[in-house]
Structure 1
Amino acid sequence: MIDVLLADDQALIRDGFRALIDREDDMRVVAEASDGAEAVTLARQFRPTVVLMDIRMPNLDGLAATRRILEQDPAPRVLMLTTFDRDDWIYEALHAGASGFLLKDVRGTQLTDAVRTVAGGESLVAPSITRRFIEQYLLARQSSVPPVAMAALTEREVEVLRLIALGLSNAEIAQRLFIGHSTVKTYVNRLLTKLALRDRTQAVIYAYESRIVVAGRADQTDS
């Protein structure tokens, strides 16, 4: 069962999310928070699988609340939700450790599918956001010098990281590199550990910032 904590300052929004989630057989709402500070407290108390976190809330905003929640052990997965698609918020949310970012205008099935995705350990950013975010915001933040941590990666791990950043799934990476699916998972886990990254979303950001993948180039898919 996927236990979900709702964090939004609007009761009507929380009611709508609860109705969508509680009708699913594999998930349930275990608590509701009306601000970020309450979300931190309830996450510690109920230990949810996933937190649906609004960004703009009183007392403590969703970004700060996410950072505090992810310091807990064990930490839940955090899926950010907002009515605004500001690139700086997306960047800060993902750097804070959020596993996904969705706009509140998604359909009900998209929301519940997103909860399942992040609960399963994957990362998710709304398709309407992804390309513009990479092409405009990350492009401006790319460094000309790879970070020191890059030296810890093997050549194969760098290649796997590049393919992750290009949007390939583990199965697609396995096919591209002619290796087994379990081997890909091992490479992914190793590179995340070596780079101290939480998940694939942070790996994508790292790959663009360190210029393993260059935003705006279309000739990067060949091995």
Structure 2
Amino acid sequence: MSEAALRVMVVDDHPMWRDGVARDLADEGFEVVATADGVGSAGRRAGAVTPDVVLMDMQLPDGTGAEATAAVLAVSPASRVLVLSASEERDDVLEAVKAGASGYLVKSSSRTELVDAVRATADGQAVFTPGLAGLILGEYRRMSQEPTTDPAMPRLTDRETEVLRYVAKGLSAKQIARKLSLSHRTVENHVQATLRKLQLGNRVELTRYAIEHGLDEPPA
């Protein structure tokens, strides 16, 4: 997706912050098609303008960012939501992902990190602030170690799980290949095999998979 065609909506209830982010993105060549200050307005405006990427705050006056994410995706399912929040709380991160967010960035991130994250989100990558990526990977680790009583749930090999963890960090196949001393094709084969096993369509859905199987509950 070219930057010239990339359409962004910013959802935040603080006008100075919201307008500042919108200005920064416009300066980088993105088209800011709408802004919103709550759950209700986010849903209405997303339905009207169908943005490519929605930057979403977690604390809104009429609800949570997770609720706003669900509202946006209900009316504009092709949009991708990137949370941009001051909160680094585990529950906020997992609720956002469960609601359909593609990634989670903290507001202390630099302008460059934000711009890169918007681009990556538009390209279908799962983008997380490094410390929060570790939280999501912890859910994957628990998924791979805990026994399942569901015979229909597929089991991944150790190598597939290893590759999947790097995918969740947002690494490309070439970067994963270098880290694991594998060929690019071998990594791609593992990714495709994992997607087939889990019956998922893309890398963003891989991140959601861990949450949707009850892994937001603490281990017994």
* TM-score of the superposed pair, with normalisation by structure 1: 0.75
Amino acid at match of 2:50: R
2:68 aligned residue (59, 65, 68): 65
Deviations 1:22-75 (A, max 9, x none): 1012x1210011101111111111111100011111224210121232234542
Q: Any stretches of 5+ residues in structure 1 without a counterpart?
A: 211-223
Cα distance in 1 for partners of 2:118, 2:164 equals 21
Q: Does 1:10 align with 2:14?
A: yes
User: Aligned letter for 2:109?
Assistant: V
The answer as to 2:24 corresponding to 1:20 is yes
How far apart are 1:208 and its partner, in Å? 9.0
Which of residues 110, 114, 137 in structure 1 aligns to 2:113?
110
How many residues get paired? 204
Preserved contact between residue 4 and residue 51 of structure 1 (Cα < 8 Å): yes
- AA matched with 2:17: I
Q: Which runs of 5+ in 2 are unaligned?
A: 214-220
Q: Which residue of 2 aligns with 1:54?
A: 57
Determine the C-alpha separation between the residues in 1 that align with 2:78 and 2:61. Answer: 23
> Relative to structure 1, is the Cα distance of residues 154 and 164 closer, same or farther in structure 2, using a 3 angstrom cutoff?
closer
Q: Residue 100 of structure 1 aligns to which amino acid in structure 2?
A: G
CA distance in 2, matches of 1:207, 1:61: 21
2:38 maps to amino acid: D
Kept after mapping to 2: 8 A contact 1:161/1:203: no
1:81 aligned residue:
84
Q: Secondary structure at the match of 2:31?
A: strand
Paired letter, 1:81: L
Q: CA deviation at 1:169?
A: 3.0
Q: Specify the SS of the correspondent of 1:71.
A: helix
Q: Quick one: distance in 2 between partners of 1:121 and 1:194? A: 20
Kindly report the root-mean-square deviation, in angstroms, between the aligned alpha carbons of the 2 structures: 3.3
SS in 2 for 1:150: coil
Alignment of 1:85-100 (within 5 A): 85-100=88-103
User: Retained in 2: the 8 A contact 1:162–1:207?
Assistant: no
What is residue 163 of structure 1 aligned with on the other side? 163
Residues 12, 56 of structure 2: 8 Å contact kept = yes
Structure 1 stretches of at least 4 aligned residues deviating more than 6 Å after TM superposition = 137-142
Aligned-residue identity in percent:
33
Give the 3 Å change call, closer, same or farther, for CA 76–188 of structure 1 in structure 2.
Answer: farther
SS at match of 1:145: coil
Displacement of 1:18 in angstroms is 1.0
Question: Which one has the bigger helix percentage?
Answer: 2
TM-score under structure 2 length normalisation: 0.76
Matched, 1:34 2:9: no
